[in-house]
Amino acid sequence: MKNAGGRYLERRGGDGGYMVITQCNDHAPRRARVKALGIRLVGQFSTGEFRNMQLHPKDTGGSFFEIDEMMGPGAHDPDGPWEPAGQDWQRARRLSRVKGILAAEVQCDDPEEVAARWADIAEIPLEHEGEHASLPLDNANVRFVPCADGRPEGLGGIDVACTDKAAILAAANARGLETADDQILLCGMRINLI
């Protein structure tokens, strides 16, 4: 039996992005907002210092939208604790070529409608990056674009802040990955090198 993630990727035609995971600073109002909007939850759990809520993609449009909260000392720091990643996750980071994720790119049949829905859920006003609606978060954006790769709605790409773009492209080419000047196709995802 396949889990929700497996069924979702099957509908999308194979490997690809699964969900946009966000962190809020107070889970209770987010949970109340989701309930008031009648959005179904696919999954949820709580531990001593972590709250999780995965929203149904048929109710949000675009992709799974996950809203979590980590609590405790340093929980809201960019490099703070993150229970799902395990203790000391920071030791596994490699910052010699990238610094972090700048944006998630959600492809949609109707980007403006989906962007408006996510903004309504998050209660954050939309911005526009050129012709695309964007949900501005504290340290990244969620950009909503039309489906243009022959696949249905879903998380189609991410933007990563690079410190050594040439080395990234060389490593990708050496592994036979499909690349462009500023992009790598990896596991069904467009990795935009910024």
Q: Is residue 90 included in any domain, yes or no? A: no
Note whether 105 and 180 are same-domain residues.
yes
- For residues 139 and 186, membership in a common domain is answered with yes
Residue 53 lies in a domain: yes
The whole-number pLDDT of residue 125 equals: 98
Task: Tell me, yes or no, whether 83 lies in a domain.
Answer: no
Question: Helix (H) and strand (E) counts for the chain?
Answer: 5, 12
In a domain, 86, yes or no: no
pLDDT of res. 187:
87
Residue 135 is which amino acid? Answer: L
Per DSSP, the three-state class of 159 is: strand
Same domain, 48 and 119: no
Domain shared by 9 and 48, yes or no = yes
Round to whole Å and give the CA distance between 39 and 105.
Answer: 22
Instruction: Verify that 189 and 111 share a domain, yes or no.
Output: yes
d(CA 193, CA 56) in angstroms, rounded, equals 30
182 and 125 in a single domain? The answer is yes
**Count of domains observed in the chain:** 2
Reading the chain (194 residues) residue by residue, the pLDDT tens digits are 567 667 767 777 777 788 999 999 999 999 999 999 999 999 999 998 999 999 999 999 999 999 999 999 999 888 899 999 998 898 988 889 999 999 999 999 999 999 999 999 999 999 998 899 999 999 999 999 999 888 889 999 999 999 999 999 999 999 999 998 899 999 889 999 99
CATH of the domain at 34: 3.10.180.10
Distance between CA atoms of residues 150 and 169, nearest Å: 24
**Closest to 67 (Cα-Cα) out of 123, 130, 11:** 123
The model's pTM: 0.90
Whole domain around residue 102: which residue ranges? 98-193
Query: Both 133 and 180 in a single domain?
Result: yes
Q: Establish if 129 belongs to a structural domain.
A: yes
